[in-house]
A = this chain, B = another copy of it.
Amino acid sequence: MGLIVKKFGGTSVADIDRIRNVANRIKKTYDLGNNVVVILSAMAGVTDGLIDMAKQITDTPEKRELDVLLSTGEQTTAALLAITLKSMDYPAVSLLGHQAELFTDRTFGNARIVEIGATRIKNLIENHNIVIVAGFQGCDPEGNITTLGRGGSDTTAVAIAAALKADACEIYTDVDGIYTTDPNICKKAKKLVKISYDEMLEMASLGAKILQIRSVEFAKKYSVPIHVRSSFSEEEGTMVVNEDVDMESVVVSGVTCTKDEARITLKRVSDTPGVAAKVFTPIAEANILVDMIIQNTRSEGQTDLTFTVPKDCFNDALDIGKKVAEEIGAENVFGDENIAKVSVTGVGMRSHTGVASKMFAALANENINILMISTSEIRISCIVEEKYAEIAVRALHTAFEIDKI
């Protein structure tokens, strides 16, 4: 018996039948004597549909009003689940962001949670209600509706679990856990029993789109253990938890791959102070997120500058690159959209050496050329030609013996 926070994603509440399924899962937990708080996403596809509607009006819908529009998606599923549970004679109450006292800053479209009051949730729980909170939404100090960005319901769930000091935070989704790599690419992919917050953060940002990054940061900060599991089976999923000794013995626990980036190179840039700033200031001003940056020293006081940007910003970034190239007298600018980033992640890297060389050797064995390299404390990423992405993932999965975890 305890307090369980359950979050169900868009595919788990995609229609009335699936909402019934969710209600039944909640019922089971509640019948065991637990208090239950449920966080819901919008029905799969609904948020995109609402964005499309706004885009019919203008390419740049005002952000405050877009949040008012988008928040209806979670409001709908929260009401429908409450109606379902009530029709089964369970005491359910839905709450919207402002009713759940989920206070955020004023960054419409990508707000950060500042504080959770949760007095109303606590009162409702004390009276043994099943509390259903619309995910993804909060309110700013003026009472305007804000949303927490893509996948924001994960963060709602973790934040509420932290505020309520819940015994468990279960994230129900359409996969049954976190895998060592994408099972669609590598048949030897294995489901992890547990993974550390830090590994999850690296993997989330690298394309394992199971949890919103911010929710993992939140979970790490408040030590909320997250249980990622399937809403379509009873099987245990993967625990996202604090690092422990077991984890450190595993050098690499995951291989990830993303094709979301494109590469831009400025050739023969004069190697003088201030050049990099001249390149990256206008790019930052255009709100383009640069991921990797590499500068190779060449002879004759010149250098090549290469960086990666999200694929959907590629054209904008290339235009800026060309303009800047003229100003700073670069010889040439070229771009490449056909790249992929493959990465190996593992907290064990902190205490093990030779991971990078093993990775490079594994790729070389497959005759895959490495275009760029970047590293963090617990991750090594290589940019390769897009067509080699899958081969690279499989090769790395085998090389690091992740199949045997």
Contact = CB atoms under 8 A, between A and B. Distances in A.
Name A's interface SS: helix
B75 A68 contact: yes
A159 interface: no
B76 A94 contact: no
Given A75-B72, A99-B143, A62 B86 contact: yes
B94 A80 contact: no
Nearest to A59: B87
Given A61-B83, A83-B61, A68 B56 contact: no
Nearest to A56: B16
Best-buried of A16, A68, A86 by chain B (most CB within 10 Å): A68
A292 interface: no
Interface in A62-108: 62, 64-66, 68-69, 71-72, 75-76, 78-80, 82-84, 86-87, 92-94, 96, 98-99
Contact of A68 (B20, B50, B82): B82
Contacts of A293: none
A50 to B, nearest CB: 8
Contacts of A20: 57
A176 B98 CA distance: 40
Contacts of A79: 54, 65-66, 68-69, 72
A65 B81 CA distance: 9
Contacts of A84: 57-58
A83 B65 contact: yes
Interface in A4-58: 16, 19-20, 50, 53-54, 56-58
Best-buried of A71, A83, A145 by chain B (most CB within 10 Å): A83
A143 to B, nearest CB: 6
A83 B99 contact: no
A58 B88 CA distance: 9
A163 B373 CA distance: 65
Interface of A: 16, 19-20, 50, 53-54, 56-58, 60-62, 64-66, 68-69, 71-72, 75-76, 78-80, 82-84, 86-87, 92-94, 96, 98-99, 143-145
Given A20-B57, A62-B86, A69-B80, 7 more contacts: A57-B87, A58-B86, A62-B82, A65-B79, A69-B76, A72-B75, A72-B76
10 contacts: A16-B53, A20-B57, A61-B86, A62-B87, A64-B93, A66-B79, A66-B83, A68-B94, A71-B75, A75-B75
Which are the 9 A-B pairs with shortest beta-carbon distances? A58-B87, A69-B79, A68-B79, A62-B86, A72-B72, A65-B82, A61-B83, A65-B83, A16-B56
